[in-house]
Each structure stands twice: as structure tokens, then as C-alpha cells.
Amino acid sequence: MDSQAKLNNYLNENFDRIVSMLQEWLTIPSISTLPEHAGDVQRAAQWAVERLSAIGFPEARIVSTAGHPLVYAEWQVDSQQPTLLIYGHYDVQPVDPVHEWSSPPFQPTLRDGYIYGRGASDDKGQIMLVLAALEAWAETNTTQPVNVKILLEGEEEAGGAAVGDYVLNHPETLRADAVLICDTHMVNAGQPSLITSLRGILYTEIAVSGAKTDLHSGSYGGVAPNPLHALCLLISRLKSEDGSIHIPQLASAIPAASLTEKQFWQEDPLHIQKELLVEMGVNKMVGETSYPPLERIGLRPTLEVHGIRGGFSGEGAKTVIPARAVAKVSLRLPANLDPNEVFGWLLQAVQSNMPAGYQFHLSNLHAGKGISVNPDNPYIRAAAEAVEVIFGTLPVFMREGGSIPIAALFDEVLQVPIVLLGFGLPGDRVHAPNENFSLDQFRKGMKTVADFLGRIRHSKP
């Protein structure tokens, strides 16, 4: 039996046990953003350390931080082999509204070929399939095909600083030839994909003030400044109905896409536009109609209002003119742009579009750069080959609209290829009630990662 057949056999024979280990991990409510779950986050980290030791990692430990702990593990097999750094996160999102779950979020349940539970897809399930692949190598070959380093964090869903600080302060510990991140999804079950770019993000808050106190609209309406109205005007000036964003420097900084990519977006052979309409439950898209929807999601910048607060929004009527109003506004940005530089551009745009008679303050709440990887490198090629062998279909290369700030930091600090090979599906309901992960994707995912590990042997430059 060749090595690949041995790995696949091992993973098939042990599938039920691997799934039940995932279930055990999923029962730990490691919700990083809620302080009352700090002990559970710690327990989930400890669980991962024990699993890594059981697989055979000579080094597997908790790294204490100012926030939730990191998990670090390392298995050096041969200095002539490349080193792969694998990143994932073991924390999860909160579960409310809990009554919308068909089965309790922390009692992972198998139904109709899916595993349901918070973290099933994002990201414990995807880490578990990587651990299964590593276990298969250890059990069938007594070792790993390449040197492996693992870094798991417990603050991804809470935007914590621990992992970023660690990466910045321990570049030598993390030194690797490539990074593997399993925390994304594919186009659909029949169409595997690899991600070649992630947009960056700039998240801001705009506070606008008018009068020194709230005023009555009868006594002062007609002369009083209304910060809520000013915010609405400002936002509509920053982005018009046709979706165009009015930040002059931004327009000229957007990179051009390749002709192949443009053609793919235009032709949309996978009918992603149709799927997007179904997923959103709408029959018409909004936005820049002169760009295909895939380009709008993958490459174009966005400007979104997430919430506006101020004045009165309770039951009944209250004729207040608020003294102050606040909006949360974010931009998704092409990978080449530095979000902190874009913040300066946004500030100028807000200055020149703010109606007269108001004071404002713009704050940068967080900024994360995007990444863009050249698919023509040995690690991405190996991932594409592994996907093709296991899924029986060539993967497409996709730009992902979302942001993974840690990927940008790896890119900046380690400067090695980042393989964004995720096995989630668009219907996984991550961050929502009834999060789930397809067991078929889980099974194919473990085999793909096992195959990938074998393929990157001897690919050290």
C-alpha cells in the first residue's frame, strides 16, 4: 500500500473516533468575548495541548498571555525538510439567540451528515481535521513528513492582541517556510477553492455633536443643529446610491486585477451571483453595477454603516433634537492598501463632507491589512494538487472579501507563502445559530491536509 492509501485508510478507519474527539472539544464553551467563560477558554486550550501530546508532538504547551492563552506545539523531524506553521483558533463566538438553535450549541449533535454545534466549522472542526491528518502521519509513518509548528489562539473572535504580540516578539520561534490556515470556506460542496487574497479592514467611529444639550423640536426645530441628520448627510456623501465611495485617494489606489480573473468574474461559471442572492434572501443586489459582484466582494473597497446611535428610538414619540450622535463605519480594503493610511484619507473626506455647524471626532477602532498571495509558489501548488486528488476537481482561486488580520501579520513578519485552505461551506452558519460542518467536508479535509503534508516534502527552496 502506498503512503497516501495508508493515510486515507487510517483516516477512514478512525473517522468515528476522530469525530467523537471533535464533539468532546466542542462541548467546552470557549467563548472568548465573555469574561465568565475565561475558565472554559483555558480548558479548551488545555484540551488541544493534550491532543497534540497524544499525537506525539515532543513539544506542546500553553503560552500564557495578558489575555487568553495560546497553544504552541512543535515537531522537528529533519532540518533538510521545510517547516510548516499551522495557525487556528480554539475560541468561539457567543451563541445567542440560544432559542434559535435546533440542538444546544455546546451539545454537538450529528444530523443528516452534518455536525451541529458552536465552533463546528469556525474553527475547532477545521483544526481537528488538521490534527487528524497529523495523527494519521504519526500513526502510519511514526513521524511527520515535514517539520511542523502549531500556533492556536483563544482570542480570534474577541479581537485580542495576544497572538499578534506573540508573532511580533517570537519571529524566530515561528520561523517557517510556509503558513497553513484552515479557517475559511470553499465556493460550495462540489467546487473546492483556495483563497489568494483577503481584504483589509478599517473600523471607525464618527461622533458628531451639535448643541450643548438635547433640545425640544418645537422650541428649537428650524434653527438647532441635528447631529443625527448630519451623520445621515455625511454618510450619503461618502457613499452614493450607486455604491461609489467618495474618498478621492482611494479610487486611484485600487489595484488592477488580472485578465483571467476579470474574465472569471464576468463569466461567473460557478453561478456564485445566484448563490449570493439565495444566501442573502434578496432578488436584487445593490452596489457598483459597473463591476461584477465577485469583484465587488473580492477586490473593490466597501464602506458600510453598522449602527447609528443617538436621540430617541424607544416606544412611542419623543420630540428630541439630540445633542450628539455616533455612527460605526467600516471600510474593507484591497490587500495592497495600508488601513492606517486610508484612515487619513477618510479623515479628510469626513472633514470636507461634514455639514457646517457641527463638531466631529473620528476614531480608528481597529485596522488590519489584507493579504494577497501569488498562487504560483510550491506550497499553493501542492495545496491545489492535494485538493484535486481528494475532491476530484481542480480548485478555483478566489479572493475572499473578509479579513484575517493574523494572516497579514504572518505575511509581514515571516514573509513566506500563506496557504488559505479552508473546508467550510457557505451554509455553515458561522457566528449564527445552528453552526454546522459537513462531515463529508471534514473527511475530505483531513485527507487533503494529509496529502498536502506529503507533497511539500523536499520543497524547501
The burial class, CB within 10 Å (0-12 / 13-18 / 19+), for 278 is exposed
CA distances from 254 to 133, 295, 396 (A): 39, 12, 23
CB closer to Zn ion out of 136 and 409:
409
CB closer to Zn ion out of 74 and 183:
183
Calpha distance 354→205 (Å, rounded): 14
With CB under 5 A as the contact rule, the residue among 40, 74, 91, 122 that binds Zn ion is: 122
| Among 307, 299, 352, 298, residue whose Cα is nearest residue 326 | 307
The minimum distance between CB 211 and Zn ion, in angstroms, equals: 44
- Considering only residues 210-249, where is the footprint of Zn ion by CB under 5 A? none
The minimum distance between CB 351 and Zn ion, in angstroms, equals: 36
CB closer to Zn ion out of 378 and 402:
402
The minimum distance between CB 122 and Zn ion, in angstroms, equals: 4
Contact mark string toward Zn ion, 124..163, x via CB under 5 A:
----------------------------------------
CB closer to Zn ion out of 32 and 330:
32
Stretch binding Zn ion (CB under 5 A), from 6-14, 20-28, 118-126, 362-370 = 118-126
Stretch binding Zn ion (CB under 5 A), from 181-189, 214-222, 263-271, 282-290 = 181-189
The minimum distance between CB 202 and Zn ion, in angstroms, equals: 20
CB closer to Zn ion out of 346 and 425:
425
CB closer to Zn ion out of 123 and 261:
123
CB closer to Zn ion out of 181 and 325:
181
Stretch binding Zn ion (CB under 5 A), from 3-11, 68-76, 177-185, 432-440 = 177-185
CB closer to Zn ion out of 71 and 247:
71
**Considering CB under 5 A, how many residues would be counted as binding Zn ion?**
3
* Residue-wise burial string across 248-273, b where 16 or more C-beta atoms lie within 10 A, e elsewhere: eebeebeeebeeebbebbeeeebebe
Contact between 154 and 72 (Cβ < 8 Å): no
With CB under 5 A as the contact rule, the residue among 74, 91, 123, 135 that binds Zn ion is: 123
Contact mark string toward Zn ion, 96..115, x via CB under 5 A:
--------------------
| Among 19, 26, 22, residue whose Cα is nearest residue 119 | 26
Stretch binding Zn ion (CB under 5 A), from 123-131, 159-167, 417-425, 446-454 = 123-131
Calpha distance 12→456 (Å, rounded): 23
Q: Is residue 91 part of the contact set for Zn ion (CB under 5 A)?
A: no
With CB under 5 A as the contact rule, the residue among 74, 183, 400, 435 that binds Zn ion is: 183
Q: Tell me which residues touch Zn ion (CB under 5 A).
A: 122-123, 183
